[in-house]
Amino acid sequence: MTFKRVRKAVFPVAGLGTRFLPATKSMPKEMLTVVDKPLIQYAVEEALEAGVEQIIFVTGRGKGALEDHFDVSYELEDTMRGRGKSLAAIEGIRQKPGSPVYIRQQEPLGLGHAVWCAREIVGDEPFAVLLPDELMVGAPGFLAQMVKAYERVGGNLIGALEVPPEDTDKYGIITPGGIDGPLTEVLEVIEKPAKGTAKSNLMTPGRYILQPEVMRILDNPVKGAGGEIQLTDAMAQLIGKQPFHGYTFSGDRYDCGDKAGFIQANLALALARPDIGPAVRGFAERLLG
C-alpha cells in the first residue's frame, strides 16, 4: 500500500522548563546541550533524517534563541570565515528559507492544545510530532524507523517503550494487542494512569505519526490528566477507526526532561565521541574510584 508521505513535523517547544531552573530562567529548555548540541537540534536532525521537509515549532514567549539557532548567524559566520576557521560545526543547521515555521501557543493548555495550534500548517496530511525532551539515539533514528513501518501499515503510529512498572503514572501507557516484530497493536492508550492501574508498562516516548483527523478531535478539546488538553486522549479516539500501532525503537532513549536522564545522556554521548570519549572515560573511572 502507499500512504501519503510524512512531510511535516511538529515540535511542541512552548514549555517553561521549570524542572531545570535556574538554567532555564532566560534560556529555552530545548537549548540545553548534550555535549555540544542543543536538544532541539537532535530532534530536528532525527526528523530530517526521516524525510521530513517542513519543521513546525509551536513556541511561546522567551524562545527567541531557538529561532536564532536555525537561522543564519551572519556575524559569527563572517568572523569565523575571516579567521580561516572551519564552519563545519554550524553548517547544515540553518534550514531552507521558509522553514522552520513558528507558531505561538499563547497559553500552556497541554500537549494536545500545542499540537492543535499547528492545524493550519499541517493541513490535510499525516504528520509527525517529536518531543525534544526525549533524546533518541539510534541508526537509523527513531522517526526514520517509524516512517519505514508507517509505509507498510499506514494510520497512526506511536513510539512504544517499556519502563519500570513504578514509572507508568508519568507517561501515556498503551494497552497492547497483537505483536508483530517492533509493531504492537494499540487497543487503548491512557495518559498518566493512577498508580497501580496501568494495564502494561509500555509507554509512549514522545514520537508520533498521526493522521490529520486528530486535529478535528482536538477542535473540541476535553481536559484530561492534570487538567490539561492531552494529545493522548485525542489520538485514543482514533483507535478502532484507523490503523493504530505502537513502534518499539531499537536504540537508546534518554529522558532529558529529567535531571538524572539529562546527565546520563551527556555522559553516554560524551563517552561515545572519538574526540573526547577517552578523556571522559578516564575522568569518570577516577571519579568512581
Q: Is 131 in the site for ligand G1P (CB under 6 A)?
A: yes
Q: Contact with ligand G1P (CB under 6 A): which of 58, 114, 150, 191?
A: 191
Q: Contact with ligand G1P (CB under 6 A): which of 100, 172, 224, 246?
A: 172
Picking from 143, 145, 135, the residue whose alpha carbon sits closest to that of residue 41 is 135
**Interface pattern 65-104 for ligand G1P (x via CB under 6 A):** ----------------------------------------
- Binding window for ligand G1P (CB under 6 A); candidates: 25-33, 72-80, 161-169, 198-206: 198-206
Per DSSP bridges, beta strands 156-159 and 244-247 are: parallel
Q: Is 111 in the site for ligand G1P (CB under 6 A)?
A: yes
Say which residue the cell 508507517 belongs to.
Answer: 150
Q: Is 47 in the site for ligand G1P (CB under 6 A)?
A: no
174: β partners: 189
Q: How many helices (H) and strands (E) does the chain have?
A: 10, 15
Q: Is 105 in the site for ligand G1P (CB under 6 A)?
A: no
Picking from 191, 207, 209, 284, the residue whose alpha carbon sits closest to that of residue 253 is 207
* 3 state SS of 231: helix
Q: Contact with ligand G1P (CB under 6 A): which of 30, 46, 134, 233?
A: 134
8 Å CB contact between 87 and 78: no
Q: For residues 47 and 140, give the distance between their C-alpha atoms in angstroms, rounded to a whole number.
A: 11
- What is the separation of C-alpha 243 from the centre of its chain, rounded to a whole number of angstroms? 22
- Binding window for ligand G1P (CB under 6 A); candidates: 83-91, 199-207, 246-254, 266-274: 199-207
CB atoms within 10 A of CB 165: 12
Query: To the nearest whole angstrom, how small is the minimum distance from the Cβ of residue 275 to ligand G1P?
Result: 30
Q: Is 46 in the site for ligand G1P (CB under 6 A)?
A: no
Contacts (Cβ under 8 Å, ≥6 apart) of 82: none
Q: Nearest residue by C-beta to ligand G1P?
A: 172
Tell me how many residues contact ligand G1P (CB under 6 A). Answer: 13
Helix (H) or strand (E) holding 282: helix 277-287
- What is the separation of C-alpha 210 from the centre of its chain, rounded to a whole number of angstroms? 14
Which residue, 13 or 280, is less far from ligand G1P as judged by CB? 13
Which residue, 155 or 257, is less far from ligand G1P as judged by CB? 257
Q: Computed from CA positions of residues 221, 225, 227, 230, in that sequence, does the dihedral angle turn out positive or negative?
A: negative
Which residue, 209 or 280, is less far from ligand G1P as judged by CB? 209
Query: To the nearest whole angstrom, how small is the minimum distance from the Cβ of residue 122 to ligand G1P?
Result: 18
Query: To the nearest whole angstrom, how small is the minimum distance from the Cβ of residue 250 to ligand G1P?
Result: 18
Q: Contact with ligand G1P (CB under 6 A): which of 14, 160, 203, 209?
A: 203
Q: Contact with ligand G1P (CB under 6 A): which of 204, 233, 238, 244?
A: 204
Which residue, 215 or 280, is less far from ligand G1P as judged by CB? 215
Q: Is 206 in the site for ligand G1P (CB under 6 A)?
A: yes
Backbone dihedral region for residue 98 (phi beyond 0: left; psi -120 to 50: alpha; all else: beta): left
CB atoms within 10 A of CB 2: 6
**Chain positions contacting ligand G1P, by CB under 6 A:** 111, 131, 134, 171-172, 191, 203-206, 230, 232, 257
